Each structure stands twice: as structure tokens, then as C-alpha cells.
Structure 1
Amino acid sequence: MTAASYSLGIDIGGTFTDIVVYDSVGKTSVSHKELTTPSAPYEGVIRGVKTLFGREGMAFADVHRVIHATTLFTNALIERKGALTGLITTAGFRDTLEMAREHKYELFDLHIELPRPIVPRSLRLEVDERLGPDGSVELALDPAQAVAQAGRLAAAGVTSIAIVFLHAYANPVHEEMARAAIQAAYPELFVSISSEVSRQIREYERTSTTVANAYVKPLADGYLDRLTSEIGALGIAAPLFMMLSNGGLTHVMEAKRVPIQLLESGPAAGALAGAFFGARSGIGDVLAFDMGGTTAKLAVIDGGVPVIAHHFEASREKRLTEGSGLPLSISTIELIEIGAGGGSIAHLDALGLLKVGPESASSTPGPACYGRGGTQPTVTDANLVLGFLDPASFAGGTMTIDVARAEDAMRPLAEASGLSVADFAWGIYSIVNENMAAAARVHVAERGHHAGRFALLLTGGGGPLHGCEVAARLGIERVLCPPGAGVASALGLLMAPARIDRMLSVGWTLERVDWDALEQAYRGIEQDACAVIDATLPGQSGGAARQRAADLRFAGQGFEVITDLPAGPYGAATYQAIRDAFLRSYLQTFGQVPPAGDIEIVNIRVAVSVTPQESELNVKMASISGAQAARGTRRMYLGGRGQYAEVPVYEREALGVGQAIAGPAIVQEASSTLILPEGARASVDASLSLLVQLAQPAPAGKSEPQSAAGAPAASHERQHEHAD
């Protein structure tokens, strides 16, 4: 490889840390999966990087950039393991977090569990200050009072403070004064202000977002400093970039300033990889399905572009129920996370019915087959018992897994269910697939789509293992499995643009707007975004793409429609173009448009991005002829027959363009294994992705094939589905 040509991608998941190195000159990449070290995530990163570079004979000095994504901050919110945080707010607004929107996400649940505020009431303090909705000062802030309240919080053990003053989105002066005074008096405290974290209306969402940022800020600061130091100690002098939830990159200082932007960084990278590999295979409409060791994620890629949302819910009380989590006003690639992964634990409920997840064995102690102390049966254990995984080559041969341990973990529950261990393992496999398919079905339908018109693109260590079965349950006929699927999220890091989203609440009426003021407001937030782009990629903001948008509504309505707008500069002649864009978005969202009414501009938004030079990625392929791809057979459980059978095994790296495979079959590579079901056919396309055509369902009324025992072949699967 040519000197200084490497890009290093690091994606920390709940079970595995994926390491990918891409050579921008040779257009090849190599990868490694390392078990995540939850207590000190950087340890797994450094161990994995050393292993990969040592194995490939690469030099650390040849790395010219490092891109990182992590679930650390998401997990801190979910597990409530962030810093002890305090809130200083305007007098009379101490209980904003508790009152929320006075909304029950399940109206008739008498025992409903509402999201617990991150900051307890005893650590929410007030100061006397007041701004008007236009930003005018109605009651001036006494900085000494803010310092006194910060002192009380510090005495209670608080290490991070959120400052949220009424109408600070219109004028940040009081928040900035309070922060300056507190940092001068207590330099050891971390301080987050809402006018920097979430400069928009709606007190509850703004407060919730700022508090969440304060909650993870000390963790982000310490972790990123340590990781930067450890990477530098290896001899890597390249800058460290962080993946944002919106699918863009930023520099470390920006990430440390507002770490809440990193919350969905790993899943966002997976969605980018889904869009990239779909486009390479000429498929614009894909559902990017990524299944790892702890969770599964699904993103809708419509027309080759992931959907961006500007709100997110973290730490939901009920994973799939909107309104049951903490609202965060951040830009993120829209996706759904499902509590299903290789580490998801199977158990019997009080009625003796088989359930899978959402509890996970993660990497510590891990599935029973890892031999690291886990004793409960997991999805990975089931996949091993079913013959889907090769014990000798699991995770690229970096660790061995034990079939006997997996069977021993399942046997007590299998006996309690009156099933054989194999049937019980198939039940786990079927239930977790239905759980994922059901969540995906709802997510896609809620966005106005039918799953059947998409192809399902499989990534993650578990995506290819489960994807064909999930696709069949969704009514999807085409499945796409890219090369290096198991580390695709880490590859997604390497193709991400530098991107910054900025927004500002304005509250103007379109029909009477001051066009010069509107243009200046847009230029102001564009300049702010460009400054961050230049700090990330010096001197490149001049060629950046800029997309303007606005949150628009008819006067009197309670919520807005986010609408993409034409480029500036804006003037009176722009009115009709903005109105037409809003009406199109409104019609698409609601199906009809009111006959008349003024339009309000509630928030303005910009997205500034620079496309990376590494726009074409290829996964390293061995120079082996396609005829040598077959690697013998393996005993695999066929659910349709209810019995084991010998099926062919193929080495993924040896499959050449145009080569076809008929199911049932196993296609394995270092980072993942594709299970090709009976009746399916796969072929290698020009981009080296495997395009799978699933078998069509039998016509209604046609008799089912019989198993060896004479029972309908699907009876085993149905038994477990009903148990769920």
C-alpha cells in the first residue's frame, strides 16, 4: 500500500468493535472484529487496531484520518450511567421536565411508566431573570445568583450543569452571562446552555435536549481525550473525526461541545452503507437492515437517500411506543432500533411461552457458546446449534465458540417446553425474526410505504444470518448482501461526508416577512455551520453543498411540516416558491390542504456538507477462481423440513461476478455468514454484492410439503410463533 493512504474506521457496538482500514490508492479494505470492552471501550479499540495492523503488516504512520462512531453515549442515557447533572432555569420553570407535555403515550394504562427525568427535582434550581419571546430583556439576570445556585449544586456532588432560560432561543445573552460567571467561579464544572445545544422553541424539548447533553458531556470529554491519546500513542498522527447522528462527520472539539449529536452515530453509519451498496447494485429503494450483537436497526432508503429526522426519542419505557422516551431535538438519520441481536436472551415467561430479548448478554459475559461465563441461551447460541455458524471461523477465527455449551444452555428450557434442543433453537430463531419483521413492518407503514416494494439490504454480523427469513416475513422478494457485510457500519464511516445541521427559531409570517432579515438569518446559521466544516476539513467550506429548509405551518396550527426550500438569496420573488414547496409537503403529509390561511415560519434550518474524496470503496477480495468457492458441506437445520441436512458451504471471497448459488446453502466470510434458504437463488453482481431472489410463496390451497415425520413442514415454526 502507498504511504499515508489509509483511512481507519472504528465502530463500537454493544458486543463487537469493528475496525476497518481502507486504502484510498489501492481501493481495498481489510477489517477485524474485536469484542467490546464496556468498562473501558478504548481498550477494545486499541487491541483491535493493533491486531489488524499486525496481521496485515501495515504501518500506523500511514493513516491519514480516523473516523469513529460509538454507542457509549446512547447506552449512558439508557442505563442512566451519565454524570450527576443539575439544572438552572428561569424562576417558575423548575418542573418543566416533570410536567413534560402532560401526555400519556398509552391513554388507558392505569400503571403507565412515564420517562424519569434525568435531573431529580432537588437538583433543579431557579434564578430570577426573564426574556420576552422577541428576546427583549424584561428582568435582567444577576450573575451572582447563578453562581450561588451553581455552588449549591456543586456541593451536592453535581459535575455537569444545564442552563435553560425562557426564550433563550431568541436571545442567548442571559445564558452566556450565567455560563461565563459559573465557569469563572467553578472551572471544574461542565456547563451546557440551551442556546447552543437546541436553539428552538418548546420548553420541554429544549430542556430535555440540553439536560441530556449535560448528562453525557463529562463522559464524552474524558472518553474522547483518552481515545485521542491512546491512538496517538500508537504512532497515528492523523486527526480523529466523529460520526454524527445525521450521517455526517465533525471534529473532536465540536463533538465534545455538543456530544448529544453523537447519540445515533453507529446506526447512522450503517444507513449510509446501506444507501451506498444499494446504489452500487442499481437499487435505489432499500430497507437497510443491520443486526449486531445487541440490537437490530432498520432505515428506509427511498430513492437512494436516507431520511433525515430532526427529533429523536431516547431511553423509551416501551421500545416501539412513540412518546414513551426522552425527546431530543437533534438531527438524525431516521431509523428504528429493535431489541434483537446475537446476544438477545431467550426465556420462558410466566405462562411458559418462549420469549426472546430485549435483555442481552452483550459482550460480557456474552452468549453461552463464548465460554466467558454466560449461561443463558441467546440467539447466537441458537444459530450455532442450527448449524448456521462455523465454530472454527467465527469472527474471522479470532475466537472459538462451543456447540456443547450452547446446547447445555438451551436444554433446561427445551425440556420444560417439551421440545428437542434443535426445535427449541429453531423457535428462538423464528421468534427473533418475527420480532424484527413486526417492528420493521410498522416502521415502514408509518412512513407511508409498503415493505414489498423495497429490497432488504443486509449488514452487521447477524443481518445475513437472519435477513432472508425476515424478508420473507415482510413480503420482500429481493435481498442484497454486500461484501464485508459484517463490518458495513464501519465502512459507512469512511464514506460519510462532513455535515453540520443548524437551526434557529424565528416565528415569522411568510406573507409579511422581512425578506432581508430572513436572508440574514439563514446566512448567519450557514456561516456557523461553515465554520465547523472548516475546522473539520480546513478550507473546504467554499465548495460545500448547502440545503435550506424550514419548519412551516398554517397560522394557528400546533405543529410544523419540515420543508426543503430553494437556495437563496431570498427576496419578495421567492414567496411563491416557498409557498408551493410547503403546500407540496403538506399535501404529501396530510393528503389535503386547507383552502386558505397564512403560513408561519417557525424554525429555519440549514445543512452544510462536503463529500469525502473516498467516494468509491471496494472490499478486498482474494484472487481465487469461482470454481474453488465451494468449501464442502455443513450439517444445517432446515426449518421447512424440521430436520438437519448437509448443505453446501461457499467462501464469499472466492465468488466471482456472475456466479450463481441455489439454496439451501451457506455463504461465509470473516465478518458474517449468509444463510440462503430453500428455493432461493443468489448471484454475484458487478459490484460483488450477492443479489438473492427468494422463493415465491405457495399459491393458496396448495398442500404443504411434508417433513420426514409426515407433519406439515412449517409446523415447527408455527408452534413457536404462536408461543410468542
Structure 2
Amino acid sequence: MTTSTLSLGIDIGGTFTDIVVFHHASGRVVSHKELTTPEAPNRGVIAGLRHLFARESLQPADVGRVIHATTLFTNALIERKGAVTGLITTAGFRDTLEMAREHKYELYDLKIELPRPLVPRRLRMEVSERIGADGEIEIALDEKAVLRAAGVLVDAGVSSVAIVFLHAYANRAHEERARALIAEAYPQLFVSISSEVSPQIREYERTVTTVANAYVKPLADGYLDLAAREIDEFGIQAPLFMMLSNGGLTHIAEAKRVPIQLLESGPAAGALAGAFFGEGASIPDVLAFDMGGTTAKLAIVDEAKPLIAHQFEACREKRLTEGSGLPISISTIELIEIGAGGGSIARLDSLGLLKVGPDSAASTPGPACYGRGGTQPTVTDANLVLGYLDPAGFAGGTMQLDVEKAKAAITPLAAEAGITVPEFAWGIYSVVNENMAAAARVHVAERGHVANRFALLLTGGGGPLHGLEVARRLGTPRAICPPSAGVASALGLLMAPARVDRVATFPRRFSQMDWAELEAVYAALEADAQAVVQETLPGATLRIERSADLRFVGQGFEVVTPLVAGPYTEGASASIVTAFHAAYRNTFGQVPPKGEIEVVNVRVAVSATAQSAPLDASATAQGRAKAMTARGVWVGARGRYEEVPVYERDGLEAGTRVDGPALVQEASTTLVLPVGASLVVDGSGSLIVELPPAGIQPAAAMATEALASAA
């Protein structure tokens, strides 16, 4: 191979680290799954690189770019394992994190658990300063107080500081001066300022976002430096890019500056893969369902585009309850995460009911069948007992699964429930599927959609294993299983454009709008975003999208509205009003007959295509001689083991039809095709599955599920 003929994608998940290499000339993709090493994630990455490059006879020097996503920073937030962080804020606003919005997400719960602040009260300091909402300085910054506060925090062991001053989005002078003072006096401290991390109104959300950025910043700084160094030492001299939550990628310096942008990087890549494969199968409306070893994710892809949100909740106390988490104000592909994966642990609660997750065995010790010390029954153990997994072929044959250890883990609970081990395993399978379907049902409905309009696109190691049962429960009539489904999120990294989002608060009523001033704000945001994208991809053709958070005067919240391209003059008013009315109607169903419109925030997204050659999905599943075996598999619809055909994915040529029950297995995952379903291999290499019409569930399956639920 000649120089720079490969692209490399690395996605660190909670259980597995997925590594894919894309050949520019042929469009072919090769991949490997390596167990994640949570105590030192870089170890798993390098081990996986060594294995894949040796197996495929690849040369590190041929890699032209590396794109990376990781759950490291999300896990640090969830597990509260970030840096010891302090907060310096305007006098009188020390308790913003505690007071939040004085909202109870469950009004009548007397024992409600609210999300805990990342910074305890003893590490929150106040200083005298005041900037008005118009950006005018009302009280000068007390510089001595800033240094005193920083000194107290350093003595308390703080390594990272968030600075959040009132109305800093309108004038960042005080925050920038405070940062400069601290940098000079305490250069070892990491400092995050709100006017850089989240320059927009709403004090609580801005404070939470800036504190969260400070909380993960030392971790991100150290990890990204280490990752870049070890990849270089492996022999890869290519630039390292990081995947952002918004579905774009950026260079290391930008990622280190505001690492909070990386929180949802892995799931975002999965949504991009969902859009790509759905469009390749001529099905542009899909629910991208990605189930890994620790969590499952679902994103809505409408007309081949994932939905973008500008705020999401992290660390929810109750996973399906809005308002129970920490609001993070960043641009992100809109999705829902569910505590359900291959490592999810099954148990019987105090009422004797079967529960699965959200606790996970993760990669250490892992499911019992991994033979790494795990003893609790997990979803992977259940799948192995049911016959859905090949013990010798798991993760491309790099791991040998132990069926007896899986049975031993399930046996005590099955005995307590008074049913057989396979019946209990089917109960685990059914309950986790219902957990995921219930969460997906709520997510889709809350966004104004009905599930049966979409096809369910199955990715991740567990997506094809569970997805068709989830689709049945959702009522989606069709599913898509793309080539290399088990490593699709890592594939999504290779499809990502470079992208930068910028936002600024610009409160103006249309009747008082200075259009030249509005255009100047947009132009400044675009120039800033363009500089970052051009540094990431020099010479690339840029795409610029403008939007604004608009509302009727008197309303408390806004509708994010896509706008026409600039420059803006007074003549642009009519088109902006039309766009807002369309977005408002789409959100609420109708538009008030009259009312003045006002701007709250203006937004810019600048992107550029990063892929130098088209990814040929069919190249990952080129037909060979058809291979088929059979093994004993639990057929849920009939409540018994049966010998069912097992097809090798690489042996299925375009046009091949398979009827259920059957299994289709490949290196990174297995598709479980139930009774009544059928699939056809399309020209892009995807398996298009048609599910039977929703109706009465077979009696045997109903009886088994009822027994498991009552266990």
C-alpha cells in the first residue's frame, strides 16, 4: 500500500473497544473488538490495534487519519470520578447549583432524589462583581477576592475551577480577567469560563455546563495527550481527530479546550452510521438502535438526518424521567440512552419480580460466561444459554464463552423462581427487550412521531441479537441489519464531517431589530467556527447553517428554527417569520393568530466533509460460497429448543432470502430471526427484515413471558 491509504476509527465503549480500518481504494472495512480496559483505556486500544494490524497485515505508516470516540468522560460524570472541582461565582449566586429551577420532576414523591451538584458547597466561592443583562459593568471585579478564592480552593485540593459570573454571556471581560489572574498565580489549575463553554442565558444551565466541563477537563487533557502519544509510538503519524456529540469531528486542541462537547461522541457516531445505512437501503426514516455491552441507544433519523438538540440531561436519577438529571447545554445528536446491554445484571426484587439492569458487569469482571471472575447472571449469559451466541466464535473468535458458567450463574435465580434455566434465560431476554422498547416508545412519542413510520436499524454487538424482538414490541414493521453491524459506531466515525457549533445570546424583538447588528453577530460566530474547521480540514469546502432560538414575546422557552443563509437585512424578516411559524407548528400543532416574535439565541453550524473516499458498505459483505450449519436454539414463540439454521453473514449473496427461525452470524454480532419474520439481502449488503403484522402473541411465548415476569 502507498502512504495514507487507510483511515482508522476507534470507539471505546463500556465493555468493548471497537477498531475499524477503512481502505480508501477499495472501500473495504476490516474490524476488531477488544475488551475495554477501564482502569487504563489506552491499553485496550493499543492491544486492539496490534491484533487487527497483525491479522490484516496492515502498516501503521499507511494510516492518513485517526478518528476517536470514547465514553470515558460520560462515565466520569455518571460515576462521579472527575477532578476535584471548585466554582467561583458572583456574590449571591453560590447556591445556584442547589436551587436549580426549584422544580420537582415527581411532584408527589416525598423521598425524591434530586441530581447532586458536581461541586459541594464548601468548594463554591463568591466574589464581588456585577455585569448587567445589557453587558454594562455595574460593579467592578474584585481582583483580590478572585485570588483569595482561588487560594482557598487550591488549599482544599481543587485541581480544576469553573468561573461563572452573572450575565457573562453579554460581556466576558470579568471572566477573562479572573482566568488570567488565576493562571498567573496558580498555573497548575485548569480553568473553565462560562462565556467560552456556554455563552447563553439561563444561569442554572450555564453553571451546570461549565462546572461539568471543569469536572472532566483534567481527565480529558491527560487522556488525549496520552492517546496521541501512544498512537504515535505505535507508528501512526496521522493527525488524531475527536468525535463530538453533535455528530462532527474536531482537532485535539479544540477537544481539550471544551471537552464537555465529547460526552455523547460514541452514540453520535452510531446515529451517523444509522443514517448512512438507512439511506443506502433506500429507507431514509429509521430508528437507529445501538445496543452494546453496557447501554443501549436510540436516535431518530428523519429523512436521512439525525435530529440535533442543543441540551440534554446527564446523570439522570431516574433514567426515563425528564428533569431528574443535570442539564448540559451543548449541541448533540438527540438520542436516548438506556441502562441495558450485554453486561446488564438480572435479579429478583423484593416482590419476586425479574429485573434486568441498569447495573452492569461491564468488561471487568464481565458476564459469568467470560470466565473473568463474574458470577452474576447477565443478558449475555442468557443469550448464550438460549443458543443465540456461538461459544467459539464470539468477538470474531478472540474469546471463548463458557456455557456451563452461564448456566451456573442463572441456576440459583431460576430455582428461586421455580422455573427451568432456559425459561429464566428467556425471561431475562424478554424483560431487557421490554425495557428498551418502553424507553424507545416514550422517546419517539415525545418527539411527535409514531414508531411504525420508521424501520429499526440494528447496530452494536447486541442490536441484532435483541432488535427484532424490540421492533415487534414497538410495532415497527421492518428492520435493517447493516454490514459489520457490531462495529457500526466505529464505522460512523469514518463518515463524520468536521463540524463546529457556536451560539450567542442576542435578545431582540423583531420590532426593535438592528439587522446590521444581527448580521454582525452571525458573521463573528461564523468566522470563529470556520477557523476551527479549517484547522481541522485545511482547504475543505465549508457548509454554513444558521438558526435561531425564537419565541413569541411573553413565552418562557424557545423553538430552535433553521434559517435561510445570510447576509440579513430588513428584507429577511418575512422569511424568518415564515420559518419560525413552520417550526412552531411542527412542535405544537398550531400557531397563535398574532404575537410579536423575539430572538433569544443565534446559532451557527459550520461543517466540511472529511471522508476522502466513499465508504462502500457492500464491500464489507461480499458474497462467497453459501455456508450454513444448525444448532439448538430456544425458539421463544414455541417455548422450546429447536435445531435452526445458522447462516454465515459473508456467505449470503445479494437477493438471498431467509425465513425464521434462523440465526445469521458474523464476527461482531448475530442476528436472531424469529418465527414469522423473513429477510432479504439487498445490494448494499444490508439485511432487510420484514416482521409479521402485530397481533396476538403466540400462546407459548405469552405463557413463558408471564411465568418469567411472575418469577
TM-score > 0.5, shorter chain as reference: yes
Q: Deviations over 1:569-604 (max 9, x none)?
A: 000100111111111111121122222222110000
The whole-number CA distance in structure 2 between the counterparts of 1:669 and 1:545 is 38
Contact 1:629 1:652 in 2 (8 A): no
Aligned counterpart, 2:525: 525
Correspondence for 2:476 = 476
Q: Secondary structure at the match of 1:569?
A: coil
Residue 656 (structure 2) pairs with residue 659 (structure 1): yes
CA distance in 2, matches of 1:705, 1:133: 63
CA distance in 2, matches of 1:721, 1:449: 29
Match of 2:691 in 1: 694
Mapped contact 2:285–2:301 kept (Cα < 8 A):
yes
In the other structure, the counterpart of 2:372 is: 372
C-alpha contact (below 8 Å) 1:621/1:654 kept by paired residues: no
CA distance in 2: counterparts of 1:259 and 1:494, whole angstroms: 20
User: C-alpha displacement at 1:618, in angstroms?
Assistant: 2.7
**Residues 111 and 83 (structure 1), Cα distance of their counterparts in 2 relative to 1, 3 Å cut:** same
CA distance, structure 1, for counterparts of residue 694 and residue 569 of structure 2 = 57
Q: Does 1:650 align with 2:650?
A: no
Correspondence 1:595 to 2:593 = yes
CA distance in structure 2 between the aligned counterparts of 1:28 and 1:299, rounded to whole angstroms: 26
Aligned mate of 1:630, from 627, 630, 633: 627
Give the whole-Å Cα distance in 1 for the aligned partners of 2:243 and 2:406.
36
Q: Deviations over 1:193-228 (max 9, x none)?
A: 000000000100000000000000000000000011
Say whether the 8 Å CA contact 1:161–1:192 is kept in structure 2.
yes
- 1:514 — aligned with what? 514
What does residue range 314-325 of structure 1 map to in structure 2 within 5 Å?
314-325=314-325
1:295 to 2:295 alignment: yes
1:720 deviates by 2.5
Structure 1: stretches of 5+ with no match in the other structure: 707-711
Residue in 2 that maps onto 1:274: 274
What residue in structure 2 maps to residue 139 of structure 1? Answer: 139
2:417 partner amino acid: S
1:717 corresponds to 2:705: yes
Please name the residue that 1:677 is paired with: 674
In the alignment, the residues of structure 2 paired with residue 573 and residue 58 of structure 1 have an alpha-carbon distance, to the nearest angstrom, of 57
User: Helix, strand or coil: the match of 2:82?
Assistant: coil
Instruction: Check the 8 A contact 1:311/1:329 in 2, yes or no.
Output: yes
Q: 1:713 to 1:14 in 2, by over 3 A?
A: closer
Change in CA separation of 1:623 and 1:499 when aligned onto 2, cut-off 3 Å: closer
Distance 2:360 2:396 in 1: 22
Query: 1:476 offset after TM fit, Å?
Result: 1.1
Could you tell me how far 1:696 is from its partner in structure 2?
2.4
C-alpha separation in 1, matches of 2:708 and 2:422: 12
Moved more, 262-271 or 529-538: 529-538
Paired residues of 1:224 and 1:252 also in contact (CA < 8 A): yes
Q: 1:548 aligned to 2:546?
A: yes
- 1:249-286 Cα deviation digits (max 9, x unpaired): 00001000000000000000000000000000000110
Q: CA deviation at 1:83?
A: 0.2
Is the Cα–Cα contact under 8 Å of residues 10 and 19 in structure 2 kept in the other structure?
yes
Per-residue CA distance 1:479-532 (angstroms, 9 max, x = gap): 100000000000000000000000000111112200000000000011110111
SS for the counterpart of 2:298 is strand
CA contact (8 A) 2:550 2:601 kept: yes
Corresponding residue for residue 82 of structure 2: 82
Structure 2 residue identity aligned to 1:643: R
Q: How far has the Cα of 1:714 moved from its partner? A: 2.9
Maintained 8 Å contact 1:641/1:714 = no
Conservation of the 8 A alpha-carbon contact between 1:11 and 1:490 = yes
Do the aligned residues in 1 keep the contact of 2:168 with 2:195 (CA within 8 Å)? yes
2:248 equivalent to 1:251: no
C-alpha distance in 2 between matches for 1:552 and 1:304: 25
**Counterpart selection for 1:617 from 587, 601, 615:** 615
For the residues of structure 2 that align with 1:675 and 1:95, how far apart are their CA atoms?
A: 52
Q: Which amino acid in 2 is paired with 1:329?
A: S
Mean Cα deviation higher: 136-145 or 713-722: 713-722
> What is the root-mean-square deviation of aligned Cα atoms in Å?
1.2
The runs of 4+ residues in structure 1 deviating greater than 3 Å are 619-625
* Greater Cα shift, 587-596 or 160-169: 587-596
The corresponding residue for 2:413 is 413
Task: Indicate which of 573, 576, 590 corresponds to 1:575.
Answer: 573
Gaps of 5+ in 2: none
Distance in 2, Cα, partners of 1:109 & 1:550: 37
Is the alpha carbon distance of 1:375 and 1:131 closer, same or farther for their aligned partners in structure 2, counting shifts above 3 Å?
same
Within 1, Cα distance between the matches of 2:283 and 2:644? Answer: 30
In the TM superposition, what is the alpha-carbon distance from 1:143 to its structure 2 partner? 2.3
Aligned counterpart, 1:709: none
Bigger mean CA offset, 360-369 vs 575-584: 575-584
CA contact (8 A) 1:494 1:614 kept: no
Residue identity opposite 2:573 in structure 1: Y
The answer (yes or no) to whether the contact 1:133–1:167 under 8 Å persists in 2 is yes
SS in 2 for 1:118: coil
3-state DSSP class of the match of 2:476? coil
Q: Is the 8 A contact 2:27 2:613 kept in 1?
A: no
- In 2, the alpha carbon distance for the partners of 1:441 and 1:721 equals 20
Query: Which moves more between the two structures, 605-614 or 456-465?
Result: 605-614
Structure 1 residue 456: deviation in Å? 0.4
Asked if 2 retains the 8 angstrom alpha-carbon contact of 1:12 and 1:70, the reply is yes
Matches within 5 A, 1:344-383: 344-383=344-383
1:621: Cα distance to partner?
4.2
**Which residue is equivalent to 1:668?**
665
Q: In 2, Cα distance between the equivalents of 1:617 and 1:61?
A: 21
Secondary structure of 2:69's counterpart equals: strand
Cα distance, 1:612 vs structure 2: 2.1
Instruction: Name the CA distance, whole Å, in 2 between partners of 1:246 and 1:255.
Output: 13
Farther off after superposition, 531-540 or 175-184: 531-540
Other-structure match for 1:153? 153
Which SS does the other structure have where 2:293 is aligned?
coil
CA contact (8 A) 2:318 2:324 kept: yes
Conserved? CA contact 1:630–1:648, under 8 Å: no
Matches of 2:129 and 2:621, distance apart in 1? 67
Q: What is the match of residue 38 of structure 1?
A: 38
Alpha-carbon separation, structure 1, partners of 2:134 and 2:631: 70
Distance in 1 of aligned mates of 2:24 and 2:613: 9
Please give the residue correspondences for 1:89-168 in structure 2 after superposition, counting only pairs within 5 Å.
Answer: 89-168=89-168
Residue 23 of structure 1 deviates from its aligned partner by 0.8
Kindly tell me: are residues 621 and 260 of structure 1, through their superposed partners in 2, closer, same or farther at Cα, counting changes over 3 Å? closer
1:675-724, Cα deviation, whole Å (9 max, x unpaired): 111111111001010001112245x6xxx867xxxxx453112333456x
Amino acid paired to 1:411: T
Instruction: Answer whether contact 2:352 2:710 (CA < 8 A) is retained.
Output: no
| Alignment-mate amino acid for residue 673 of structure 2 | L
Whole-angstrom CA distance in 1 between matches of 2:444 and 2:134? 40
Q: Secondary structure at the match of 2:555?
A: coil
Cα drift, residue 629 of structure 1? 2.3
CA contact (8 A) 1:639 1:714 kept: no
Q: Distance in 2 between matches of 1:447 and 1:623?
A: 38
How far apart in 2 are the matches of 1:248 and 1:667? 32
Q: Deviations over 1:94-136 (max 9, x none)?
A: 0110110000000000000001110011100011111111111
Give the letter for the 1:516 counterpart. A
- 3-state SS, counterpart of residue 293 of structure 1: coil
Q: Secondary structure at the match of 2:611?
A: coil
CA contact (8 A) 1:84 1:160 kept: yes
**Corresponding residue for residue 564 of structure 2:** 566
Q: Tell me, what secondary structure is at the counterpart of 2:410?
A: helix
Aligned residue identity for 2:689: V
Q: Distance in 1 between matches of 2:186 and 2:304?
A: 49
Distance 2:500 2:709 in 1: 44
Contact 2:620 2:685 in 1 (8 A): no
